[in-house]
Structure 1
Amino acid sequence: MSLLQIFVLAIVQGITEFLPISSSGHLILVPQLTDWPDQGLMMDVGVHVGTLAAVMLYFRKDVAALFHAFWQMLTLSKSHRPHERKLFLALILATIPVVVFGGLVAMFDLNEAWRTAEVIGWTSIIFGILLYVLDMRSPVTKTILELRYGHALIMGLAQVLALVPGTSRSGITMTAARGLGFSRTEAARFSMLMSIPTILAAGTLEGLKLAESGDFVLGQDILLGAALSFAAALLAIAALMKWLQSASMTPFVIYRVLLGIGLLVWAYS
C-alpha cells in the first residue's frame, strides 16, 4: 500500500468519523474515485483504533467517570455519583440496538448491497435535511445530566440507521439528540461517547474475522494509519466542539446535500 493511500484513508477516517457527514460513505468512495485496491480489514481496524484513542483522550474525564461507575457496579459498591452510573447504563442501552442489528447485517451479508454511490447519495441528502430541520427547530434545553434511559434508547435506535452507508453514525445520533431537546454541544458529546462502545464492538467483530483468516499481522502501514487517524480525529473533535458552542450544523448539511447531488448525478449519468 502506498504512503499516499495510507495518508488519505487515515485522514478521511479521522476527520469524518465524528463529523456528521458519514465516515463509512467516504471510505467506500475513496477506492471508487481513485481505483486504489481495497485497503483490507487490518487497515480498517488500525484507523478505527486511532479514532477510538482520540475520542477517549478528548473526553478522558467522562471516560474516567464511566470506568469508575463500571468498577463500582462490578464490586457492588454504593455509588456516591449516581449520574455516572446512569450515564454508563445509558451508553450500554444505546449500544444494544446497533450490536444486534449490526450482527444480523454481518450474518446475512447485507452491507454489500448498500455500498454504492447511489445509496450514499440519497442517504447523504435525506438525513442531511433531517439534521437541518431538527437542529434549527428543536429547543436547546437539556444537558447530559438530564439524560434518561428513554432518550438513550431512542438515540440507540437511530444509530441503527447508520448501518446504511452515507447516513452517518454521528450525524443521526446528533439529529436524534437535537430532536429530544439537547443542546448542540451536549448532543455531540453524547454521540461521541456512544462511539466508544460502538467502535469497540465493531473492532471486536473485525478482529474475530482477522483471527479466523489468520492474517493478524501488525505492520508499519497499520501503525502509521492508526497514528494519522488519531491525530486527524483529535483535531476534528476539538474543532467540532468549538464550532458548536456558537454555531449550527448548517455547514455540514450543505456539504452533505452537495455531495449527495454530485453522487446521484454521477450514479445516474
Structure 2
Amino acid sequence: MLLFIAIVLGIVQGLGEFLPISSSAHLIIVRWLFGWDPIIAQVGGNIDIALDVALHVGTLLAVLIYFFQDWLELVINGLTKGLKSKEGRMFWYLVLATIPGGVAGLLFESVIDKYIRSEPLIIAGGLAVMGIVLYYVDKNSPQRIKFENITFKQTMLIGFAQALALIPGVSRSGITMTTGRWLGLSREASAKFSFLLATPIIAGAALKHTPDIIHNVTSPLFMVGTITSAIVGLLCISLLLKYLQRNNFAIFAVYRILLAVVIVCVYFVRGA
C-alpha cells in the first residue's frame, strides 16, 4: 500500500510542482480525501518525512536534468563573466530573486505548517483566489518580453511574489508565472523563469533533510517516490512549455476553481 501511495503522490508532486496548481495543496488534499494520513502514520519512524523528501528530490532532479545546459551556461558565465554577459546577469538575478522566498520560508514556514497548512478551507480559498487572479492577469497582460530580456527589477518582483507561495493553495509556480505575466513577460518566458527560480528553492527544501536522504536513499519507498516525481516532472516541464507557445493559462485557472469547490463540498459533507 505504501508503494502505491508513493507512486500516486509522486505523480501529484511531479505535476503540481511545475503546473500553476500548487503541489503542496494537492499533496495535502489527496492524502485528506483518501484518508492516507493514518496509514502513513501507522508505519511510524520518519517515513512521512522520508516520503516528502523523496518527492522533492525527484522534482529537483527533473528541473536540473531538463535545464542542465541552461544552468551550466548560467553558472559558468555568472562566476566568470559576472554582469558582463546576459547569462551571467541572469545567474545573479536568479540568486538574488531567491532570497525573499528563502527568508520568508525561514521566518514563517514552521508557523504556517503548524496552524494553517492542513486546513482544507484555507487551501480551497487559496486555490480559488489565485485561479481568478491568474486568469485575469494572463488575459489582460501583453506578451512583449522574452526570457533573455528580463530585467533585474522584474526578477526581484517575481522573487518577492514567490514568498507568497507559503500561503496554502497559492502555488509557487502559480504566483511566479502570474507575476511574470503581469510584468509583460510572454507565457513561455514566465514559465521558464519560474522553473529556473524553483531550482534553488526545491534544492533547499530537499537538502535541509540531508540526513534523511542518506538514511533512506536505498529504501524502495524513497526510490519509488523519487523516480516517479522525477519522470512526471520532466514530462510536465516539457509539455507545459510547448503548451504555452500557443495556449493561455485559462485551463489551470478553471481547474483551480473547480477543485476549490470540490474541497469545500467534501469538507461540509463530511461535517469537517
What secondary structure sits across from 1:19 in the alignment? Answer: coil
Q: CA deviation at 1:225?
A: 1.1
Q: Distance in 2 between matches of 1:137 and 1:204?
A: 39
Q: Distance in 1 between matches of 2:104 and 2:82?
A: 33
Q: Distance in 2 between matches of 1:239 and 1:149?
A: 28
What secondary structure sits across from 1:20 in the alignment? Answer: coil
Q: Distance in 2 between matches of 1:205 and 1:164?
A: 20
* Alpha-carbon contact 2:55-2:225 (below 8 Å) kept: yes
**Residues 1:190 and 2:193 are matched in the alignment:** yes
Q: CA deviation at 1:35?
A: 1.4
Question: How many pairs does the alignment contain?
Answer: 259
Amino acid aligned to 1:85: G
Q: 1:151 aligns with which of 149, 154, 166?
A: 154
Q: CA deviation at 1:79?
A: 5.4
What secondary structure sits across from 1:166 in the alignment? Answer: coil
Q: CA deviation at 1:58?
A: 1.5
Alignment match, 1:130: 133
* Alpha-carbon contact 1:122-1:264 (below 8 Å) kept: no
**Residues 1:217 and 2:216 are matched in the alignment:** yes
What secondary structure sits across from 1:221 in the alignment? Answer: helix
Q: CA deviation at 1:71?
A: 3.5
TM-score after normalising by structure 2: 0.90
Alignment match, 1:170: 173
* Alpha-carbon contact 1:54-1:233 (below 8 Å) kept: yes
Describe the shift of the 1:79–1:116 C-alpha distance in structure 2 as closer, same or farther (beyond 3 A): closer
Q: CA deviation at 1:120?
A: 0.8
Alignment match, 1:75: none
Q: Distance in 1 between matches of 2:167 and 2:82?
A: 39
Alignment match, 1:110: 112
Q: Distance in 2 between matches of 1:90 and 1:59?
A: 17
Deviates more, 1:145-154 or 1:34-43: 34-43
Structure 1 unpaired stretches of 5+ = 73-77
TM-score after normalising by structure 1: 0.91
Q: CA deviation at 1:162?
A: 0.6
Structure 2 unpaired stretches of 5+ = 41-46
What secondary structure sits across from 1:40 in the alignment? Answer: helix
Q: Distance in 2 between matches of 1:243 and 1:42?
A: 33
Q: Distance in 2 between matches of 1:162 and 1:26?
A: 14
Q: Distance in 1 between matches of 2:61 and 2:141?
A: 32
Percent identity of equivalent pairs: 37
Alignment match, 1:181: 184
Q: 2:50 aligns with which of 34, 39, 42?
A: 42
